[in-house]
A and B are shown apart, each in its own frame.
Chain A
Amino acid sequence: MQKQAIFQSKLLPYLLVAPQLAVVLIFFYWPALQAVIQSFLLQDAFGLSSNFVWFDNYIELFKDPAYFESIVRTFFFSFAIAVSSLSFALLLAVMADKPLRGSMLYRTLLIWPYAVAPPVVGVLWIFMLHPSLGVLARYLRAAGIDWNPLLDSNQAATLIILAAAWKQISYNFLFFLAGLQAIPKSVFEAAAIDGARPMRRFWTVTFPLLSPTIFFLLVVNIVYAFFDTFGIIDTMTRGGPGTSTVTLVYKVYTDGLLGGNLGSSAAQSVILMILVIVLTGIQFRFVERKVTY
């Protein structure tokens, strides 16, 4: 089948894609290139001159134990966020898939949190769980839990994971609901007649049939947890207490903008860039192949 559009002028097609290309070049490739160049440079303490130092920034980085801690932490956060957000969203989607009255209303309500910007999510959770301001923090303290995420790094991590996972639930919910609705109802009915109880039905029919959706969302969620949690971390803990909630992205920010070490910061962003390329590659590969059961 011929799908080629026919243009009179050879120039026109280029003109038509030019605005899009300009946006991509100016806002994506240009800064990316800058980062790559910057990562090979070392600036003096006053930022007046810079020397070309080859891979010194990278070597320094990998010698730095703080960077390794940050990598481990980021992966831990990502998996914790992805797993908790995915499982809770799946639970909600399975519940919402039932033909109940007012289903349109609560399905809509469940999607709303996605529209909330990450820093606002951070503020929202602070109002609930800040040791001195938080509404819920008071109850936690009353229940005998020594709740203070400003001092306790485990609690701070929990808080970040909670807030970040909460925000992503809506997105996952939407995909799960769509995935569930794409499965013909009669398949579930056949399973019910075939003697499978609801739990068994879920694990032997629903779950395997949703596996392409689950895989897709897993990658999306990991990417989200890697990069989009910046706003949440910045409003809630600013990486603290100590560096216990500093993720890779947040470290780029603290080292570069706060620490003034532009070379190292650039090197870190280049590493992140490679990571994103890999993750996206995995995702595309599987989406194209339509991972099926």
Chain B
Amino acid sequence: MANVTLRNVRKTYTGGFEAIKGVNVDVGDGQFCVLVGPSGCGKSTLLRMVAGLETVTGGEIDIGGKVVNQVEPADRDIAMVFQNYALYPHMSVFNNMAYGLRNRRMPEAEIKTRVEEAARVLELTSMLERKPRQLSGGQRQRVAMGRAIVRQPKVFLFDEPLSNLDAKLRISMRVEIRKLQRRLNVTSIYVTHDQLEAMTLADILVVMNGGQVEQVGNPLAIYEKPATTFVASFIGAPPMNLMSTHPDEIKSQLGGAASQAGILGIRPEDFVMTDQTPSGGVALSLTVEAVERVGAETFVYGSRAQDAQRIAATPGELPPGEVIVRIPGTEAPAIGAKIRVAAVRNKLHLFSSDGRTRLEA
């Protein structure tokens, strides 16, 4: 059981590329921390630095009150689950799980007890004699989990452990991992690029972008009050609609607040189809371009009547001027129809023009 504290952690590769530009994160004992961000944001590098697989070029990594920058991976008392599971292909399931214990010279009888207990929890008992290649993806994943839990380490590290599984299995394993972590109460750091996984697993969510932390906090708090436009568009699906506050249509509705804010964000689920404008809120006129009906809900892709520019936070997302609206699945406006949607004041997110600062609406 241990805290994991990252103090101004940096990683600069020889050649000058700065992969991690000063990260501060504090993960409390038994907490589940999720690092989330787009590919190349440095989240995996950061995790590997905690594991000791990458050197730290600046700052301190502290596990359980001890700075481990110079400590070998074996001596950090961590266990890691890899994206490709990294099982030892020539060893049986039993030996895969026992390997770490044998290396630590644990008595064979205790190894047997621990491995069998882990196998029972993970429903692998009937497969202990098999080789990894005789297992399905989900089973391999569970062996990788088993290898981590038999060690009873201070910290679990997960590097996108579910990304090689099919969608259905991913959801059930996600729940399994969370249950297991709660029961064992081991501090965990989990890397993913899937914001849904991040939201559902995390006690603390760390949103990363370009080697920096964009925001740290409780997942729901981040969802409700994203600190930057990057976080706003990354957390939540479909992403938050971001638009310039300058067109008259919006400026007049926002009043004074618009003068400081450059960007207005509204989540698709915060829109209501209505002809009225809520006081202090924002109403938009849209022409329906496309409608996606997924059962419980309907997504409407509308273009703004005005020449307004929607600000694409990540290039290549929605075309400028397009707005996504989520409405109940029972409704479905016709394509080409003109609709009016509105959001109330406390559902508006205002950001500075560069998108780096959140302003109170």
Contact = CB atoms under 8 A, between A and B. Distances in A.
B353 interface: no
A139 B296 CA distance: 87
Best-buried of B72, B90, B131, B151 by chain A (most CB within 10 Å): B90
Best-buried of A189, A197, A211 by chain B (most CB within 10 Å): A189
Interface string B102-133: 01100000000000000000000000000100
Nearest to A205: B88
Contact of B82 (A186, A208, A211): A186
Interface in B69-105: 72-74, 78-80, 82-84, 86-90, 99-100, 103-104
Contact of A191 (B52, B72, B99, B151): B99
B53 A194 contact: no
A197 to B, nearest CB: 7
Contacts of A191: 88, 99
A101 to B, nearest CB: 8
29 contacts: A184-B86, A186-B82, A186-B83, A186-B84, A187-B87, A189-B53, A189-B73, A189-B82, A189-B86, A190-B87, A191-B88, A191-B99, A192-B52, A192-B53, A192-B73, A192-B74, A193-B53, A193-B73, A193-B74, A193-B79, A193-B80, A194-B99, A195-B103, A195-B104, A196-B74, A196-B99, A200-B103, A209-B90, A293-B131
B147 interface: yes
Contacts of B86: 184, 186-187, 189-190
Interface string A188-227: 0111111111001000110011010000000000000000
Given A191-B88, A293-B89, A196 B82 contact: no
B76 to A, nearest CB: 8
Contacts of A211: 90
B353 to A, nearest CB: 43
Given A191-B88, A191-B99, A193-B100, 15 more contacts: A186-B83, A186-B84, A189-B53, A189-B82, A190-B80, A190-B82, A192-B73, A193-B51, A193-B53, A194-B100, A194-B103, A195-B100, A195-B104, A196-B103, A211-B90
Contacts of B73: 189, 192-193
Interface string B14-43: 000000000000000000000000000000
Contacts of B83: 186
B104 A209 contact: no
Contacts of A189: 51, 53, 73, 80, 82, 86
Interface residues of A, number: 20
B132 to A, nearest CB: 10
A293 B96 CA distance: 14
Contacts of B89: 187, 209, 292-293
Interface of A: 184, 186-187, 189-197, 200, 204-205, 208-209, 211, 292-293
Nearest to B131: A293
Given A205-B88, A208-B90, A209-B90, A197 B82 contact: no
Nearest to A196: B103
B337 to A, nearest CB: 51
B107 to A, nearest CB: 16
A293 B132 CA distance: 11
A213 to B, nearest CB: 13
Nearest to B159: A186
A187 B85 CA distance: 8
Nearest to B144: A190
A185 to B, nearest CB: 9
Nearest to A190: B86
Contacts of A208: 90
Please list the 9 inter-chain residue pairs (A to B) with the smallest Cβ-Cβ separation, ordered nearest first.
A293-B90, A194-B100, A186-B86, A195-B103, A190-B86, A195-B74, A208-B90, A186-B82, A193-B73
A173 to B, nearest CB: 23
Contacts of B72: 192
Nearest to B78: A193
A211 B99 CA distance: 19
A113 B51 CA distance: 40
B313 to A, nearest CB: 33
Best-buried of A187, A197, A205, A211 by chain B (most CB within 10 Å): A187
B311 to A, nearest CB: 39
A193 B83 CA distance: 15
A49 B147 CA distance: 77
